[in-house]
Amino acid sequence: MPRLSAIHCEPLQALLDQQRFTPRDTLLRDIARAEQLASEIRPEVEYPEDWIAYRITAYRPDLDAPALVPGRALLSDLSALVEHLCEAAQLCADDLPVDAFSIESLASRWRVARKTIERYRRRGLVARRWRDPAGLARLAFAPNVVAAFERTHQSLLQRAGAFSRIDDQEADALAQSAARALAAAPNATMTGLVDTLAQQSGRSAPAVRRVLDETGPSIPGVTAPKRGAPHLSRGIERRIARAVAFGIRPGLIAERYGCTRLTVHRVAVREQARQLKRLCATLPSGDDGLDVDVLDHPIVAHAPPISPILDPRQLADAVATDPPADAPEERALMTGHRALLERAAAVGHGIDPARPNQRLCDRALTDLRWALRLRARAIEMQRSLILRTIESRTGLSWHHLASAAAVQLHLVATRAATDAIARFDPRRGGRLAAPVSIAANRALAGIVQELTLARPLRSAQQRFVLASPLDHLASWQSSVEPHRHLPDIIGCLQDTDAALLAMRYALPPAAAPIHPRTITEVAQTFGVTPARIIGAERRARRAIRTRLA
């Protein structure tokens, strides 16, 4: 059963959240429009967020400052968006177009592997997700989607279809040719030999070199060159990075994959850089950088974790005593939020995934964690407005709403407010309340008619818990935040490890001002090496894994 693809593009994730209660027929039309859109997107062009929403839903949202989405990022996530829409619509075989292609039939048509089809999906090949009578999820490709992809990627498909692997017979022929060439020219270099054989065979030089590396010791005069580490495929590199993130010791990983500990570290950094570069493609960027001195403002520099109130009665009581948001503090908060996002985006755009700078990657990831803390603080400052908007839209007091309706309305309004906060640019002026109120009102307008709002008379209000507003701060939140169980186990770690991680991730009992910090900053503060902090993170992951086992 294929796993649901993740959406990394924040505007697409926001669009998906808004379709949560859309009727099934409308979802089917959205799916068809998204498939059509994929064939028209160009990777090098940037597209405004409201235009994307209009092309998919036939509704253009009125956004004050629509984000620009790179075409490459949009193409990469359109198939994932359609998958989620299909899952919401609960597609079955009857909903598929006539003569739809499965992954197997499409791979056979193009003479490529299944993994190649998966890579093409990140280029705009949109798949529909449906379930068979047994409940298993499968993927299908509409004929018009396949035809459009063939038109726009003709040369790519021709090259892929002509590709073939070197079989044993061809490998033996290359080995014999190498032996004859060395007999004729004993002083020939390995590089020259590989280039000659590549030209003669029509194969790439790396492919020929791999054959000689494997067969070299059995050929007189051919010796495989010594290398510091074996060639690692992208799949193995991803598995190594996941193992590192899981807290497995680098020595064990190196032994498992036949490489060095240094190679394990470099692979993990490269994977982190690739992920960061994809993430930063969805972040806002400004031509005129914001003043980073605002990061020293107390409301920005002191960003402790927020503990949201999830009990509806307690939330109403807290909102009743909330003071009005202070305009200068709000402006400083949102300026710091935007400055951190733009600084991270600038780093991400300049990263070379082949040779990433680990310190710069860590700086960008730390800035994003810090920005999420400020975003959470901004949501807390707007919680009174969110409740008032719900009451205004429904015409009912918060205490008189039915339990299920209150939970759903609060979730929808909070997510819409979060999206408005994420897009807010303080350079344009104005207060945060206006875009938050507009976004929440529009989001609520689409679902108010579908819910039973008032609880029955003489019916005791059931106890219920609101969804945490901190779980959906950004589509890329899980990529930058520490494990959610880290605050729970930090007290069980060694004192030094606990102090290092508390400062790094701005967790109690770190000293104020408390905000996320880079590995270098923590190392300088405690007078330890960066490796010591990385080791503390690894031990914390193992402790979490042990607790969850």
CATH number at residue 498: 1.10.10.10
Residue-wise pLDDT tens for the chain (549 aa)?
A: 467 788 888 888 888 888 877 888 999 999 999 999 998 999 888 899 889 999 999 888 877 778 888 888 899 899 999 999 999 999 999 989 888 999 999 988 988 888 888 889 988 999 999 988 888 888 999 999 999 999 988 888 887 776 666 777 777 788 888 888 877 877 777 777 888 888 787 777 777 877 777 665 445 555 544 444 456 788 888 899 999 988 888 889 988 888 888 889 889 999 999 889 888 888 887 656 667 788 888 999 888 888 899 988 899 889 988 888 889 999 999 999 999 999 998 888 888 888 888 899 999 999 999 999 999 999 999 999 999 999 998 888 888 887 778 888 999 999 999 999 999 989 888 899 999 999 999 888 878 776 666 655 444 555 678 889 888 899 889 889 998 889 888 888 888 999 999 999 988 776 656 889 999 999 999 999 998 999 999 999 989 988 887
Residues 127 and 191 in one domain: no
Establish if 270 belongs to a structural domain.
yes
Establish if 436 belongs to a structural domain.
yes
Residues 61 and 179 in one domain: no
Closest CA to 326 of 470, 436, 433, 435: 433
Distance CA 363, CA 343 (A): 9
Question: Which structural domain range is residue 266 located in?
Answer: 234-280
Residue whose structure tokens are 């400020």: 374
Residues 467 and 506 in one domain: no
H or E element: which one contains 295?
A: none
> Which alpha helices (DSSP H) does 39-113 contain, by range?
49-57, 71-89, 103-110
Contact assessment for residue 540 and residue 486, using Cβ atoms and an 8 Å cutoff: yes
Residues 50 and 87 in one domain: yes
The model carries a pTM of 0.64
Domain count, the chain: 5
Establish if 74 belongs to a structural domain.
yes
Residues 147 and 62 in one domain: yes
Three-state DSSP class for residue 14? helix
Residues 318 and 258 in one domain: no
Residues 452 and 379 in one domain: yes
Establish if 252 belongs to a structural domain.
yes
User: Cβ neighbours of residue 35 under 8 Å, at least 6 residues apart?
Assistant: 82, 126, 142, 144, 145
Establish if 268 belongs to a structural domain.
yes
Establish if 536 belongs to a structural domain.
yes
Distance CA 363, CA 345 (A): 11
Number of continuous H segments (helices) and E segments (strands) in the chain: 26, 5
- The strand order across the sheet containing 137-141 reads 101-102, 137-141, 128-131
